[in-house]
Amino acid sequence: MTNALNKLDQGIPKNNKVRILTKGNGRISISPFDPVPEPVNLSRLKTEIMKRWPMTSLLDILKEADLRINFTELFKTTASYTVWEQMQD
């Protein structure tokens, strides 16, 4: 654990996507990652949906499924964050 923390401590100043903020007792700000390419199977799924139901998108199907079974209640928002407060002795 000590080695991993030392590596983190040495790497943060060199990483241009990470900043230590002055507010909030040194909060850490991380820039968004670059988007990754769309998976091949997702493209194939969208193509197949368009063949079968030309006016329906994958998003429409997911929305309808969520209305029926409410699967998105199990997701956590990306807007949430955790604030660790320093314990007072």
pLDDT digits (tens, 9 = 90+) for 11-36: 888 888 888 888 777 788 888 888 99
From 74, 75, 79, select the one nearest 32 (Cα to Cα). Answer: 79
Single-letter amino acid, residue 81 = Y
Looking at residue 78, what is its pLDDT?
64
Q: Where are the domains of the chain?
A: 2-72
Q: Whole-model pTM above 0.75?
A: no
Looking at residue 87, what is its pLDDT?
46
pLDDT digits (tens, 9 = 90+) for 43-82: 999 999 999 999 999 999 999 999 999 999 998 776 655 5
Distance, CA of 70 to CA of 34 (rounded, Å):
30
Q: What does R_g of the chain's alpha carbons equal in angstroms?
A: 21
Looking at residue 48, what is its pLDDT?
94
Residue 75 and residue 66 in contact, taking contact as beta carbons nearer than 8 Å: no
